[in-house]
Amino acid sequence: MKRLLASIHDVSPRFEREVDLLLDRLAPYVGQRLAMLVVADHWGSAPLIPAFRARLRHWADAGIEMFVHGWFHRDDSAHRGVAAVKARRMTAGEGEFLGLDHAEALARMRRGKTLLEQTIGRPAAGFIAPAWLYSEGARAALSAAGFALAEDHARVWVPGGAVVARGPVVTWASRSDARALSSLAAASMLRHALQLVPTVRVAVHPGDVTRPALLRSIDRTLAAFTARGRRPAAYADLLTNPRASISA
């Protein structure tokens, strides 16, 4: 079976309207068979207030998977070398876990996991770092934090265990015209290039709703994958039949 894993990133009270719009956008293709990546306190000024926590519980009860997506989603670390390049080019100050040491990464992971699990009344599906960026200490902390799954831009894996899916995430960028155009070109290429890959991941962000061209590309991409029989799936499915995910 060829799988389609869809996710909404940066789920927070700050982006509640955008999350609702993205849910409506994805529904014709995946229904509620998708994942939400939840930020505990976006940029230190948008904590999970009770009303939003109730919505998260409702979504989880409906079958939407819930991932911990950092605590602040803001990168306050000083970087050198390769990490500095990643921090500058791959994200706009949002790679929270790119510069954290093991102890601080583990502390934030545990806090986020506890908060999310208390909110939804069930285990978190896993952890996905903001901007898919991890320090070595953060990668090492995933196992100690007790997450079932983790993801970066190239793969999904069991912390301390096997890789269960490979291939680039199809995603879009909205923070500049140049990045938006580049992401449109990448999505156009990937929706053809990934057709034979067992597991395809598509990720959308609140900023996508600000650019009609990105929304049209999201529609075309999801339609291209589902039209050829690819089925919406849960990340948890990778744990029950991982070989189907890495056979290509």
How far is it, in rounded angstroms, from Cα 38 to Cα 124?
10
Rounded Cα distance between 84 and 119, Å, is: 35
Per-residue pLDDT for 44 more than 80?
yes
Q: Convert the pLDDT of each residue in 111-157 to its tens digit.
A: 999 999 999 999 999 999 999 999 999 999 999 999 999 999 999 99
Angle between helices 136-145 and 102-120 (to 10 degrees): 40
Reported as a single tens digit per residue, the pLDDT across 52-86 is 999 999 999 999 999 999 999 876 744 455 444 44
| Per-residue pLDDT at 92 | 57
- Those residues with Cβ within 8 angstroms of residue 73's Cβ, 6 or more apart along the chain or in another chain: 10, 12, 39, 42, 43, 94, 96, 130
CATH number of 3-246: 3.20.20.370
pLDDT in tens, 171-218: 999 989 999 999 999 999 999 999 999 999 999 999 999 999 999 999
Give the domain ranges of the chain: 3-246
Q: Does the pLDDT of residue 87 top 50, yes or no? A: no
Model confidence at 1, pLDDT cuts 50, 70, 90, reads confident
The full DSSP string for 126-147 is EEE-GGG---HHHHHHHHHHT-
